A and B are shown apart, each in its own frame.
Chain A
Amino acid sequence: MTEPTPLTIGNELPSLTVDLTRADLVRYAGASTDFNPIHWSDRMARKVGMPSVIAHGMLTMATALRVVTDWVGDPAKVRSYSCRFTKPVPVPDDDAGTELRITGVVSALTDETATVTLTAVITGPDGEDVKVLGNAKVEVDRG
Chain B
Amino acid sequence: MAITSEHAGRTYPATEPYQVSRAKIREFARAIGDDNPSYAGPNPVAPPTFAFVVASNAWEAMFADKELGLALRQVIHGEQRFDYTRALRAGDEVVGRLTIDQVRLRGAAEFITTTVDVRTTKGEPVCTVTAQLIHNREDATSKEVER
Residues of chain A at the chain B interface (Cβ within 8 Å): 18, 24, 27-28, 30-34, 36-38, 44, 46-49, 56-59, 61-63, 65-66, 69-70, 73-76, 78-85
Q: Report B38 CB to chain A, min CB distance, Å.
A: 5
CA distance A70 to B38 in the complex (A): 11
The reply to whether A57 and B33 form a contact with Cβ atoms under 8 Å apart is: no
A selection of 24 A-B contacts at a CB cut-off of 8 Å is: A18-B33, A31-B28, A32-B53, A33-B53, A34-B56, A36-B75, A44-B73, A46-B142, A57-B80, A58-B52, A59-B31, A62-B47, A62-B49, A63-B32, A66-B36, A69-B47, A69-B48, A78-B48, A80-B82, A81-B48, A81-B49, A82-B81, A83-B80, A85-B78
CA distance A62 to B39 in the complex (A): 14
Question: Chain A residues near B77 (CB, 8 Å)?
Answer: 56-58, 85
CA distance A79 to B130 in the complex (A): 14
Nearest 7 CB-CB pairings of A with B: A31-B31, A82-B81, A76-B87, A57-B77, A62-B32, A62-B49, A49-B142
The reply to whether A75 and B36 form a contact with Cβ atoms under 8 Å apart is: yes
Question: Chain B residues near A63 (CB, 8 Å)?
Answer: 32-33
Q: Report A67 CB to chain B, min CB distance, Å.
A: 11
Question: Chain A residues near B139 (CB, 8 Å)?
Answer: none
Question: Chain B residues near A73 (CB, 8 Å)?
Answer: 36, 38
Is B103 an interface position by the 8 A CB rule?
Answer: no
- The interface size of chain B toward A, counting residues with CB under 8 Å, comes to 40
CA distance A19 to B74 in the complex (A): 27
Contact pattern, B 32-48, Cβ under 8 Å of A = 1, otherwise 0: 11101011000001011
CA distance A50 to B109 in the complex (A): 15
The reply to whether A30 and B33 form a contact with Cβ atoms under 8 Å apart is: no
Is B76 an interface position by the 8 A CB rule?
Answer: yes
User: B80 touches which one: A30, A38, A44, A82 (CB < 8 A)?
Assistant: A82
Question: Chain B residues near A59 (CB, 8 Å)?
Answer: 31-32
Q: Report A124 CB to chain B, min CB distance, Å.
A: 16
User: B79 touches which one: A28, A46, A62, A85 (CB < 8 A)?
Assistant: A85
Task: Specify which of A30, A44, A57 lies most central, judged by the most chain B CB atoms within 10 Å of its CB.
Answer: A57
Question: Chain B residues near A61 (CB, 8 Å)?
Answer: 49, 80
Q: Report B73 CB to chain A, min CB distance, Å.
A: 6
Question: Chain A residues near B74 (CB, 8 Å)?
Answer: 48
Q: Residue of A at shortest CB range from B46?
A: A75
Q: Residue of A at shortest CB range from B141?
A: A49
Q: Report A7 CB to chain B, min CB distance, Å.
A: 21
Question: Chain B residues near A56 (CB, 8 Å)?
Answer: 77
Question: Chain B residues near A76 (CB, 8 Å)?
Answer: 38, 45, 86-87
